[in-house]
Amino acid sequence: MGVLRVGIASYAEMKARTIAIAKGLCKPDAKEPKVWFTSAESFARVLSEKNRALLRVIAECSPGSLTDLATRTGRKKPNLSRTLKTMERYGFVVLKRGARGSILPRVPYHTISLALPLFRDAKAKSDAA
């Protein structure tokens, strides 16, 4: 388990960065975020207190199925399934197939680190343009 670095950037900034990387104009540093959100609010919605508690239960108990996780958390399976799929898109959980098609959620990181810039410097603005 390691650290997942998350960043906040506008859609235009993420697109410009992706294009620059694809063209070979920019090489991402190993310490740069791997996952991006368009706002701190969207990050906070995905990693709400309730969802962080869910991640703790998964990490501590390694539930054997979605039913097991629902029992441990008191959450309904359809709600859990939607939440886990969202968190999987961001890399916060990994969903594996177990015996008889059961879903085994796992947490691959022990820490999620948020890089939240307060402003962009002139160079970053010109790079994003």
Strand pairing class (2-8; 103-106)? unpaired
Show me where the domains of the chain are located.
Answer: 2-128
% of the chain beyond a pLDDT of 70? 91
CB 110 within 8 A of CB 1: yes
Calculate the alpha carbon distances from 126 to 6, 35, 81, 96, 110 in Å.
22, 22, 41, 42, 35
Confidence (pTM): 0.80
Q: Give the mean pLDDT of 40-46.
A: 94
CB 92 within 8 A of CB 109: yes
Asked if the model's pLDDT at residue 124 lies above 80, the reply is: no
Please provide the CATH number assigned to the domain covering 2-128: 1.10.10.10
pLDDT, one tens digit per residue, over 61-71 is 999 999 999 99
